[in-house]
Amino acid sequence: MPRPDRDSPEEREAPETDAERMRRRARFLRELAEARELRDRVRPRRAKAARLRRALRMRTFRW
């Protein structure tokens, strides 16, 4: 059981607002997209195979 005197500094601060959470999430998603683009540039054959697999999944997915 966690002890109140051992809480991390983040837990002692006020809870984050929705705007802060959305900013943090947007930054994470931007970095994730950037990492995917970099990986696609570094390994184009793997990126093409991934695109084809994704397209096949979308074609076989039923709404």
List for the chain the helix, strand, coil content (%; round to 5).
80, 0, 20
Q: Where does the pLDDT of residue 2 fall: very low under 50, low under 70, confident under 90, or very high at 90 and above?
A: low
Tens of pLDDT, residue by residue over 3-21, are 555 555 555 567 889 999 9
Query: Residue 5: what pLDDT?
Result: 54
Query: Residue 34: what pLDDT?
Result: 96
* Token pair listed for 47: 């990126």
* Rounded Cα gap, residues 46 and 36, in angstroms: 11
pTM comes to: 0.51
Tens of pLDDT, residue by residue over 20-62, are 999 999 999 999 999 989 988 888 888 889 889 989 998 887 6
